[in-house]
Amino acid sequence: MCLGIPGKVTELYQANGMKMGKVDFGGVVKEACLEYLPEIQVGDYTIVHVGFGISQLDEEEAHETLKLLKEMDMIAGELPELADRQNDS
Amino acid sequence: MKYIDEYRDEKVTRGLLDEIGRIVTREWKLMEVCGGQTHSILKSGLDQLLPPQIELIHGPGCPVCVTPLELIDKAIALASRPDVIFVSYGDMLRVPGSERDLFSVKAAGGNVRIVYSPLDSLKIARENPDKTIVFFGIGFETTAPANAMAVAQAKRQGIKNFAMLVSHVTVPPAISALLESPDVRVDGFLAAGHVCTVMGYWEYEPLVKKYKVPVVVTGFEPVDIVHGVLMCVKQLEEGRAEVENAYARSVRREGNEPAQAIINQVFEPCDRPWRGIGVIPQSGYKFREGYADYDAEMRFPDIQTIATKESSLCMSGLVLQGLKKPNQCPAFGKECTPQMPLGATMVSSEGACAAYYRYARFVNPNATSNSKEQTSKLQTSVV
C-alpha cells in the first residue's frame, strides 16, 4: 500500500488548479499529481504513491550514501579474516 | 532504473551484511514496521542472510490488514446498493468480511471499481451524476495526502455525488502501543520510509526518549533495509537510542509540509480500531467538521450497525503485533491460502502471511535448527 516508485518528471502542467506532471518509470509514463512538490522541475526524480508525488529525491544525498556504503564494502574486502571466510564459502 | 538498480546491488548488500556480522555481539529483535518492507525482506531472502543473532519481527504496517472487519462489512453493504458505485484500491477486494468480500459483490453484479489514484474516483463521479461514488479511503500517512486531496478537490469542484468511507491509521501511536504492551519485546524499529517521507521523523524523537529504543527510518530495497538494520544494530551495540535516517534521499526530518497541510485541512486525529489488535487511542484520522458532507458513514446512516463475525482459526492479530510468525499458525497454507484467505494478512500485497506464502517460508522457525542457514544467492530479481 505504501509502495512508492521512483520516476523522472518529463512534463509539468496545471489541471483543475493542481500541479500535475508526466513521470517516466523506466519507459512507462504515467500522470501524477505534483501539488506537494512545489519546487520540482522537469528532469527531477520523484517517488510516486497512488498517483501523487510525495518526495523530490535528493540526488546529492543519494550519491553520498551510496559512496559511503560502497566504501564500507571495499574496506570489508581488505580485512584478511573476512577474505578467508569468503573464500571458504 | 535509476534509484532502484543501485539499491539492489548484491555486492553492496553483502558488504553491509558482513559489517553487521562483525559488530553484533548478542541477540537483537528488530521490527520492520511497514508491510512493504516485510515483502522486500522475504523476496530478497534477507531474513535468511542476516546473522543468526538478528531476528526481524514483522510489524502492523499493512493498512489493508488492519482495516477493521466492521468497515469491510460496511464497504460490502455500500457496494451492494444499486445507487452506489464503490471505488477502491485493488488490494481491498479480496479481504474477507464476515460473510463475503468485495470481489464477490462485484461478481454478483455490484458496481465495484478499482482505481490507481483516488483522483480517478472524481472522474467516475463526473461521468455518473445519477450515482453516489463511494471511495474506500484506507491507508497510512503515505496515502492520506492523496485521499485528502480527492475530498478537497470534490469540494472545490462542487462534486456532490462523492463520499469517502474513511479508515485511516497512523504509525507512531501504533509503535507506542506495541512498546506499552507487556507481551511485545522489540529492541529497535525500522521506521517506514514512505510514511516518514510525508510526516518526517520528528514525531519519533519523544518516543525514542521515553522508551529508549532506537528508531531508524528505512527504505524498501535490499541495500536500504540492510543499511537500516546496520544503523539500528550499531546503536544497540553502543548502548544508544536515537532517531536516525537511512533513507535520506527521500526523507527529511520535517517531512513533506504541503502534504501534511492538506491532511490537516481535511482530517483530524481520532481513536481507531485496528483489525486483530483493538482500539489504539488517537491512531487514525476522521473527517473534520467542514468535510462531514463527504463522510460516507454520515451519508448512509443505515450502515452504522453491522454485526461482525471473525474467523476463529485466524491469528492475524498476533501476527500483526509481531507475537507470532505466519508459519506458526496451524491454518497457514492449509485452511488459509491467498486463494481462500481467512484473514487480511493472507490477502494484501503487504500482509506478512501472504509474503510467507509467496516466498515459501513454510517451516516454523522454532521447529528447525538450520532455518537461518545462509543461502548462496541474494534473490533480488524483480517479479
Assign residue B333 a region (left: φ > 0; alpha: ψ between -120 and 50; beta: otherwise): left
CB A40 within 8 A of CB A20: no
Q: Which domains does chain B have, with CATH numbers?
A: 1-360 (3.40.50.11740)
pLDDT of A86 > 80? The answer is no
pLDDT of A62 > 80? The answer is yes
Q: Which residues in chain B are contacts of A38 at CB distance < 8 A?
A: 258
Task: Chain B: give the shortest CA distance to residue A9, in Å.
Answer: 13
- Give me the residues of A, 52-81, that contact B with CB < 8 A: 52, 54-55, 57-59, 61-62, 65-66, 69-70, 72-74, 76-77
> Under an 8 A CB cutoff, do B143 and A49 touch?
yes
Q: CB of B91 within 8 Å of any CB in chain A? A: yes
Q: What is the pLDDT of residue A71?
A: 83
B149: confidence class by pLDDT, cuts 50, 70, 90: very high
A83: confidence class by pLDDT, cuts 50, 70, 90: very low
Q: What is the pLDDT of residue B244?
A: 98
B203 vs A71: CA distance, rounded Å: 32
Higher pLDDT, B199 or B368: B199
Task: Report domain extents, chain A.
Answer: 1-57, 59-89
- Give me the residues of B, 249-268, that contact A with CB < 8 A: 249-251, 256, 258-259, 262
Q: What is the pLDDT of residue A75?
A: 63
Task: Chain A: give the shortest CA distance to residue B1, in Å.
Answer: 6
Q: CB of A33 within 8 Å of any CB in chain B? A: yes
The CA–CA distances, whole Å, from B236 to B25, B32, B103, B217 equal 10, 16, 45, 15
Higher pLDDT, B122 or B310: B122
- 3-state SS string for chain A: CCCCEEEEEEEEEEECCEEEEEEEECCEEEEEECCCCCCCCCCCEEEEECCEEEEECCHHHHHHHHHHHHHHHHHHHHCHHHHHHHHHC
CB B132 within 8 A of CB B178: no
- 3-state SS string for B262-289: HHHHHEEEEEEEECCCEEEEEEEEEECH
Pairing of the two strands B162-169 and B188-192: unpaired
Given CATH 2.30.30.140, say whether it is the number of domain A1-57: yes
pLDDT of B371 > 80? The answer is no
pLDDT per residue as tens digits for the range B22-72: 999 999 999 999 999 999 999 999 999 999 999 999 999 999 899 999 999
> Under an 8 A CB cutoff, do B4 and A17 touch?
no
Q: What is the pLDDT of residue B230?
A: 98
What's the angle, vertex CA B185, arms to CA B22 and CA B28, rounded to 5? 5
Residues written for chain B: 383
Q: What is the pLDDT of residue B277?
A: 85
> Under an 8 A CB cutoff, do B256 and A66 touch?
no
C-alpha grid cell, residue A2:
505504501
Alpha helix stretches (DSSP H) within chain B: 10-23, 35-44, 46-49, 63-66, 69-79, 102-107, 119-127, 144-156, 171-180, 193-199, 204-211, 222-237, 257-266, 296-299, 316-320, 352-358
Q: CB of B194 within 8 Å of any CB in chain A? A: yes
Residue B200's Cβ-side half-sphere holds a number of Cα atoms within 13 Å equal to 13
What's the angle, vertex CA B214, arms to CA B212 and CA B215, rounded to 5? 130
A46 vs A22: CA distance, rounded Å: 11
> Under an 8 A CB cutoff, do B251 and A33 touch?
no
State mean pLDDT over B193-207: 97
> Under an 8 A CB cutoff, do A57 and B250 touch?
yes
Q: Please give the mean pLDDT across all residues of chain B.
A: 91
> Under an 8 A CB cutoff, do B256 and A2 touch?
no
The CA–CA distances, whole Å, from B7 to A75, B16, B125, B309, B333 equal 19, 12, 40, 43, 32
C-alpha grid cell, residue B130:
445519477
Higher pLDDT, B344 or B129: B129
Residue B336: strand, helix, or coil: strand
Task: Chain A: give the shortest CA distance to residue B197, in Å.
Answer: 7
Q: What is the pLDDT of residue B365?
A: 57
CB B99 within 8 A of CB B77: no
pLDDT of B283 > 60? The answer is yes
Q: Is the dihedral of CA A25, A27, B119, B100 positive or negative?
A: negative
Report the residue from A2, A25, A57 with minimal CB separation from B140: A2
Of B7-11, B145-149, B240-244, give the lowest mean pLDDT range.
Answer: B7-11
